[in-house]
Each structure stands twice: as structure tokens, then as C-alpha cells.
Amino acid sequence: MTTEKVKKRYPRPPMSLIESKIPGWEVDIYIGGSTSVADAELLEKHNIKVVLNCAINLDIDLVSSQEPNPPEHLLKHGWAPVRYYKIGMIDGPGNPESMVLAGYHLMRSALDQVLPEKASYKVREKGNILVNCRGGRSRSVTIVALFLHLEYPDRYPTLDSAIAHIREKRELHPDEWYETPKPALIHLAERAASMEKMLRDAGFGQDMRKA
């Protein structure tokens, strides 16, 4: 069965709650696809203040205010109603080995970041986080699964246990598990978990959660 046929046969919400009030940050984690991150009302409804886009082939115009009278040769720019982060991953083979590990650290850093009290930093509230890709089935699942496994090993002792939890919460049907996430991304996530644990054992990148 092709990917498009699987999507039509097994529809899912544009956005799914994966974890509530995660220890150390007390925010909710959501996973979604392109329609979720493009829906301003949906973002507001779920108090999304942080968006991490994992897809290299998906861009979202989140700008809600522009610089006054920008030169004609400049594209629309300004600030968005959320804090927007992006790591451009391919949905399958082709990503550098370190890219998934970078995605984990970007997600974690986005939650830790404290913005200054300046007019140019419009969105300072912590709020919840939405991790998205095009369909919310593979790249975003990979990054969130790695995050859950590394941050909460007592609850998710293996990467597979974190993926299984997300498949349930994201309503991913068993017929599509062969690509949710893609095998190449699972392999990179396993490598990333090993690299992170080696760094921590060596005294680098230790878990600095507030919990």
C-alpha cells in the first residue's frame, strides 16, 4: 500500500497530544502535520508557543507583523505568534548522522530558552510545544521519541517504547508502522541516543533538567 493510500485510509487529527505537563518544564508536547502548524486558531486553542518544524520540504509563513515599509526586494518578515524553530530533515535516507541528535538538542533548547524583556521578543510565554513535519508521522515522531527516551528513561527505557507510545497517541495504524517513522530515521535515532549517552558518560551534555 502506498503512503498516500495509507493516509486516506487511516486519517488522524491534525494535532495529537503526546505528553502532558512533562517534568522539568510543565508543558504539553504535541505532534502534528502541515495543517496543524498552519492553523493559527488551533495553535491558540492548545496554547502552543513553541513550534519545531522537522521538515526540509515544508515552510510555513507564520509572520503576523511586518517591518514598516520594507524594501521591495525583501520578502515578508517580522515576528510570529509562536517561537519558531526548524531543523530540515529528509523523510528517509540522506540525513547526516548527527542531524537527529541535533534535533533532540534543538527541541530541548527551545524549551530551556529564556527570552529577554525586549519589545523585539514578542512571545516570551512558555506555553506548549508542537513538533511537526509534513504529515506528523515520521520525522516529528523520531525527534519526540528520542526526546522522551533520553529525558525520561525510567518511563521509556528504549527508543522503541517511546515510539510505541507515540504511535498510540498519534493514532498511527499498524498498517503504517513500517514507515512511522521511516527505518532510516529510527536507525539514526538509535545512533543519536548512543552518542548522547556517551557524551554524558564523558561529562558532556549532562541532563540539566530542573526536575
At 170-209, the pLDDT tens digits run 999 999 999 999 999 999 999 999 999 999 999 987 555 4
Residue 132 lies in a domain: yes
Angle at 66 between CA 114 and CA 57, to 5 degrees: 75
Residue 211 lies in a domain: no
**Which pLDDT band holds residue 211 (cuts at 50, 70, 90)?**
very low
Domain range for 119 is: 3-201
Q: How far apart are CA 35 and CA 73, in angstroms?
A: 29
Average pLDDT over residues 152-170: 98
The CATH number of residue 148's host domain is: 3.90.190.10
Residue 210 lies in a domain: no
Give buried/exposed letters for 7-27 (b at 16+ CB in 10 A, else e).
Answer: eeebebbbbbebbeebeebeb
Q: How far is CA 201 from CA 187, 191, 193, in A?
A: 21, 15, 12
Instruction: Say if residues 34 and 58 touch (Cβ distance below 8 Å).
Output: yes
15-19, 25-29, 39-43, 118-122: the lowest-pLDDT one = 118-122
Enumerate the β-bridge partners of residue 48. 128
Q: State the alpha helices, DSSP H only, in 73-201.
A: 99-112, 139-151, 159-169, 183-201
Residue 4: the pLDDT is 60
Residue 92 lies in a domain: yes
Residue 45 lies in a domain: yes
Counted domains in the chain: 1
Residue 207 lies in a domain: no
Residue 181 lies in a domain: yes
